[in-house]
């Protein structure tokens, strides 16, 4: 596995990640005035570490990762990374946590989906754009 995580090939995500790394904190880095958390995942096939900034969805020290991809018909690439390697690092502000992710369903997913939509209302719109149920991981 590589030591230094790779930046996203997507320019806006790469720029957002660089800003977090330069500042040493996620504070002040937002999407639509909403805070983000910088997750580090491990590639499902490559084994390379990869940065993924996502909307901040947190409750009682647990975090959620919402695999929305803006309502695209397919899951984001990081979804498969987390399924294959559930050990994830989360940076929230200047604090860094080593967590384990698990995909949730049923009532637990409904609870976290409600929290996700409250944290970032666009998630509700994204769900209307796709036939897939947008996956939610809980990290603890």
Rounded to two decimals, the pTM is 0.92
Question: 87-92 and 95-103: which strand pairing?
Answer: antiparallel
Domain map of the chain by residue range? 11-139
Query: pLDDT grade, residue 128 (50/70/90)?
Result: very high
Instruction: Give residue-wise pLDDT tens across range 28-79.
Output: 888 878 999 999 999 999 999 999 999 999 999 999 999 999 999 999 999 9
Higher-pLDDT residue of 97 and 3 is 97
Kindly state the tokens that stand for 51.
Answer: 């940065």
Greatest alpha-carbon span in the chain: 39
Three-state DSSP at 2 gives coil
Q: Report pLDDT for 1.
A: 46
Answer whether CATH 2.30.110.10 is correct for domain 11-139: yes
């Amino acid at each position: 596995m590589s030591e230094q995580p790779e930046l996203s090939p997507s320019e806006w995500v790469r720029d957002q990640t660089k800003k977090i790394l330069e500042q040493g904190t996620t504070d002040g880095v937002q999407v639509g005035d909403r805070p983000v958390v910088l997750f580090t995942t491990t590639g499902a096939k490559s084994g390379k570490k990869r940065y993924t900034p996502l909307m901040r969805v947190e409750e009682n020290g647990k975090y959620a990762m919402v695999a929305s991809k803006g309502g695209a018909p397919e899951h984001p690439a990081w979804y498969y990374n987390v399924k294959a390697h559930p050990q994830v690092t989360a940076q929230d502000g200047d604090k860094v946590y080593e967590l384990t992710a698990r995909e949730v369903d049923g009532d637990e997913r409904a609870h976290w989906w409600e929290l996700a939509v409250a944290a970032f209302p666009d998630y509700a719109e994204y769900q209307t754009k796709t036939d897939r149920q947008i996956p939610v991981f809980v990290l603890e």
